[in-house]
Amino acid sequence: MTNNVKKSYSVSTPGRICLFGEHQDYLGLPVIPCAISLRVSLQAMHTNDSIVKIALPDINSEEIFSFNGPLPYVRERDYFRSAVNVLRKHGFTFSKGIDAIVQGKIPINTGTSSSSALVVAWINLLTQMSDQAQQLEPALIAKYAHETEVLEFGEPGGMMDHYSTALGGIIFLEFTPATIATPLHPALGSFVLGDSGEPKDTKSILARVKNQVISISKQLSAKHSKFSLMTTHSNEIEQYKNELTKEQTELLYGTLENRKITYRAKSLLQLASVDGEQIGTLMNDHQQILRDVLRISTPKINRMIDAACTVGAYGGKINGSGGGGCMFVYAPERTEAVAEAIERAGGKAFIVTADTGTRTEQLEISNGR
């Protein structure tokens, strides 16, 4: 009898909430995301052929394809194949097959970055199981994941999800003139995430809001050299009102106010002692703009936030692109009561905390035969 030792890979990646800066990253404006303690995991081993088999028991599905030859896309957002194609462009090769299983706790299609977390985990796994066997830095994993999910398919999203889930924790993420992630280390305690159960349409909402604000910015920048989404203040919009429609004026105002709220939040989160009430108030201010100006919230999500705040949450907002999906509230105290209030309002509640980014373990499994 001999022992064959096989190496097994285990990767997990967190979901994320956007504390401040919703609908800002694709404009090049800063955001403050927080990786959360709901994760997706992949376990895998090499096989002796070139076949990739990925079991997806959470959605009763599987993926099967071969590393041999080109990988055409067979469905919309074909991320398992696009990750391989992107990594091949960056010099990775794959001579052995992979047998993997995906399992996760992140609510799907709710704005908590379930797809980005999966892509980040898959990139992390693939690079280690490639012929080059590389453990990449989290920022490079995030870059490749953004290429895989957004650039490869011409999607309208930004980079926040990929950097947040790859790096983990709470970060102040800037994109102009370069992508810079500054870790923040506030002792915030618990949040309560609430899944409304309402489906959302990320692509159409992103395209509507993003395209309009970019059009406004180009229009004003062409005529006014001092105008910039990065530096113009919301109280300076009056001088441009005659050049914009009422809706454009409101969208521009909301964008600049959200930027101001994000910078104010950064200052608070850098303090040695965090004032929970001030953080909650800023979240409520952010939600008011997302609800009334960008119009991405829903009546049910509004009720869930109100119910949570009534029993002790400091504040909250819709999470993600909007039109449905999840909300969250900051509730370091009376957390259980807040979760129960969200469920009474029709949501499914998850108590979460800040968590680490994508991480990998290598296990050795001995099979006697």
Say whether both 7 and 145 belong to one domain. yes
340 close to 307: Cβ distance less than 8 angstroms: no
Say whether both 181 and 195 belong to one domain. no
Say whether both 47 and 135 belong to one domain. yes
Q: Which CATH number covers residue 202? A: 3.30.70.890
Say whether both 139 and 206 belong to one domain. no
Say whether both 207 and 150 belong to one domain. no
Say whether both 237 and 298 belong to one domain. yes
Say whether both 157 and 198 belong to one domain. no
Say whether both 198 and 333 belong to one domain. yes
CA 63/CA 75 separation, integer angstroms: 11
What does each C-alpha distance from 368 to 1, 3, 9 come to in angstroms? 7, 5, 19
- Domain with 127, as residue range(s), is 3-185+355-368
CA-wise closest residue to 87 among 41, 154, 145: 145
Say whether both 343 and 363 belong to one domain. no
Beta-strand pair 51-56/97-104: parallel
- Three-class DSSP category at 328: strand
Question: One digit per residue, pLDDT tens: the chain, 369 residues?
Answer: 445 667 899 999 999 999 999 999 989 999 999 999 999 999 999 999 999 999 999 999 999 999 998 899 999 999 999 999 999 999 999 999 999 999 999 999 899 999 999 999 999 999 999 999 999 999 999 999 999 999 999 886 789 999 999 999 999 999 988 999 999 999 999 999 999 999 987 777 877 788 899 999 999 999 999 999 999 999 999 999 899 999 899 999 999 999 999 999 999 999 989 999 999 999 999 999 999 999 999 999 999 999 999 999 999 999 988 999 999 999 999 999 999 999 999 999 999 999 999 999 755 544 433
Residue 107 DSSP class = P
Number of domains forming the structure of the chain: 2
Say whether both 208 and 335 belong to one domain. yes
Say whether both 175 and 273 belong to one domain. no
- Three-class DSSP category at 132: coil
Q: Which CATH number covers residue 52? A: 3.30.230.10
User: pTM of the entire structure?
Assistant: 0.93
Say whether both 229 and 297 belong to one domain. yes
